[in-house]
Structure 1
């Protein structure tokens, strides 16, 4: 199990990363906070996505490891849980922007007309975005590619860590087919056909395994602290920055290395990181972070295209940031906050297809 300090640390990283993505995109649109944008530095928003992939790999490896000890928890349970976590907030956002973009861009030219169609919408519903498929993110919601990559990594890793419990033959073959499809996504991403983030995801998963490893526990804490400090300083080495300010193998690893060492160090600490008075607020912010990531970009794109705040960039920055938060909270209150309720309801409707009981996730 995770100790409290590690849990707090990862939670805080998740909250910070999700809000940095929003602030980074807003800064990019309105040309402010140049220190956070290329070429003055790699894009802060892209670096935050690298953090997301590390956290995702760590969390899924931890989840599978813990659930594997539970009686009756299987690959189909895992996939159902993950599908509900991903798609219950995702599909409403896709539908909402399918409608809104129709009205948004009646008088303004759509910036991505080739991706605003029924075929692309359906491809996004099933997250068929990375290689070997060539489908674009739907409409103006460009960050959806990263959600698709994580989804296929879930499918791939889940079967490596868990087994398919006794079930109907066609369900078993369907799960195996889905896993086989995920292999191509995973291999191509790790081979560099994506944005080299699959490597980071598996480093995150490996970090969870290292926290339990008796050999890694023998490394002195001061050595971990020193390694974390040195690898953090590497972030300022310009030769390691990606050519376009987004992603590269070297830069992805540069961002990830201090995360590995600090997480290992955090696993040894017997205290808390987040003050008790702030715990509720941080946990609340983490609960809408996924919806915030899903919904902010099209809103910013539209406001930018209309020319609003052209002469008041800082006002525009705060307007789109606040607007994104309000929209995310509105959507999350209906979907992300309640996804476990919807999951349990759906499970009761399809329980006949599998014989494994649903479990309640802690995440």
Structure 2
């Protein structure tokens, strides 16, 4: 199990990274905070996405490892839970922007007209997006590619970590088919056809096992602290930055190294990181972080293309960030905050359906 300091640390990373993505995109639109944007530095919003993939790998490895000892917890349970976590907030956002973009771009040309159609919408519903698929993201919601990558990594890793429980052969073959699709993503990413974020995801998963098994216990904490300081200083060497300021295998690893070291250090501290008065607000921010990621970009794209706040960039920056936050909170209140309620209700209906239509076994059959 994770100690409190580690869980607090990972929660803080997720909250900070999600808000950095929003602030970074807003800054990029208005040419602000140039020290966080290419070419003065790698895009801070892209580096935050690298953090997401490390956190995702670590969290999923911990989740599978801790639950597979539970009686009856199988790959089907894991996949259903992850699907609800991903799709319950995602589908309403896709529908919302399908409608909003129709009104946003009635008087001006849509920036991605070839991706704003029914076919692309349903490709996004099922997360059939770039790497490994060649489909485009729907409308102006460009960051959805990363959600798709994480989804296919979930499917792949779940089969490795858990077992497919006894089920009818059609469902079993369907799960095996999904695994095959996810395998194509992993292979393409490893051979350099993606953004090399799948590698970071598996490093995050491996870090969980390092912490769990205490592999690094023999290394003194002060050595890890020095190594962390050195790894952070390496990030300022411009020659290792990605060519376009986004992702490269070297840069991804450089960003990830201090995350590995600090997570190992966190596992050694038996205290709370977040002060008690701040626990509630931080946990609340963590609960809407996924919806914030889903919601922010199309809104910023519209505000920018409509030409608002050209002469008041800081005002535009604030409107973009605050507008994204308000919209995310409205959507999260209905969906992300309540996804477990919807998940449990749906699971109950599926269980009832499977029992109702299960074949009746008799002595003759």
User: If the length of structure 2 is used for normalisation, what is the TM-score?
Assistant: 0.96
1:352 and 1:252 map into 2 onto residues whose CA distance is: 46
Are 1:272 and 2:272 matched, yes or no? yes
**Counterpart Cα distance in 2 of 1:131 and 1:194:** 6
Q: Which residue of 1 aligns with 2:48?
A: 48
Name the structure 2 match of 1:112: 112
Query: In terms of mean alpha carbon deviation, does 321-330 or 224-233 score higher?
Result: 224-233
Q: Is the 8 A contact 1:18 1:290 kept in 2?
A: yes
Are 2:189 and 2:198, in contact at CA under 8 Å, matched by a contact in 1? yes
Matched with 2:63 is 63
Residue of structure 2 equivalent to 1:124? 124
8 Å contact 2:5–2:269 — kept in the other structure?
yes
Residue 217 of structure 2 aligns to a residue whose secondary structure is helix
Matched, 1:5 2:5: yes
1:187-226 paired onto structure 2 within 5 Å = 187-226=187-226
Alpha-carbon distance in structure 1 between the residues aligned to 2:64 and 2:192: 26
**Structure 1: unaligned runs, 5 residues or longer:** 356-363
| C-alpha distance in 2 between matches for 1:214 and 1:303 | 49
- Secondary structure at 1:236 match in 2: coil
Shift of 1:133: 1.6
1:338 & 1:287 partners in 2: Cα distance?
Answer: 10
1:130 and 1:185 in contact (8 A); partners too: no
For each residue in 1:23-52, what CA deviation from the matched residue of structure 2 results, as whole angstroms up to 9, or x when unmatched?
A: 000000011111110011100000000000
Match of 1:318 in 2: 318
> Which position in structure 1 is the counterpart of 2:252?
252
- Residues of 2 paired with 1:171 and 1:11: CA distance? 35
Distance across 2 between alignment mates of 1:234 and 1:319: 35
Cα distance in 1 between the residues matched to 2:172 and 2:284: 37
Aligned to 2:289: 289
CA offsets 1:157-211 (integer angstroms, 9 cap, x no match): 0010000111122111111111111100111112211111000000000000000
Larger deviation, residues 185-194 vs 311-320:
185-194
What's the offset of the Cα at 1:217? 1.6
Shift of 1:215: 3.0
Tell me, yes or no, if the aligned pair for 1:64 and 1:161 is still in contact at 8 Å.
yes
Offset of 1:257 from its aligned partner? 0.2
Q: Deviations over 1:236-279 (max 9, x none)?
A: 11111111100000100010000000000100101111000100
Structure 1: distance between partners of 2:104 and 2:232? 42
Residues 9 and 273 in structure 1, CA contact (< 8 A), matched pair in contact too: yes
CA–CA separation in structure 1 for the residues paired with 2:352 and 2:239: 56
Q: Unpaired segments of 5 or more residues in structure 2?
A: 356-365
Distance of 1:149 and 1:105 partners within structure 2: 29
Aligned equivalent of 2:360: none
Q: 1:299, CA displacement in angstroms?
A: 0.2
Establish whether residue 304 from structure 1 lines up as the match of residue 304 from structure 2. Answer: yes
1:354 CA drift (Å):
6.8
Kept in 2: contact 1:189–1:196 (CA 8 A): yes
Secondary structure in 1 matching 2:192:
helix
Equivalent position of 1:174 in the other structure: 174
Tell me the distance in 2 between the aligned counterparts of 1:108 and 1:343: 40
- SS of residue matched to 2:158: helix
Give the alignment's Cα RMSD to 1 decimal: 1.0
Q: CA deviation at 1:216?
A: 1.7
**Which range is displaced more, 218-227 or 143-152?**
218-227
- What TM-score does the superposition give when structure 1 sets the normalisation length? 0.96
Question: CA contact under 8 A between 2:131 and 2:149: conserved in structure 1?
Answer: no
TM-aligned CA deviation for residue 352 of structure 1: 5.2
Q: Deviations over 1:283-330 (max 9, x none)?
A: 000000000000000000001011010100000000110000000000
Residue of structure 2 equivalent to 1:148: 148
**Could you report, residue by residue, the CA deviation over 1:84-137 in whole angstroms, capped at 9, with x for unpaired residues?**
000000000000000000010010111111100011001000000023321111
Q: Is 169-178 or 155-164 further displaced after alignment? A: 169-178
Give me the whole-angstrom Cα distance separating, in 2, the residues matched to 1:271 and 1:189: 38
Could you say which residue in structure 2 is the equivalent of 1:360?
Answer: none
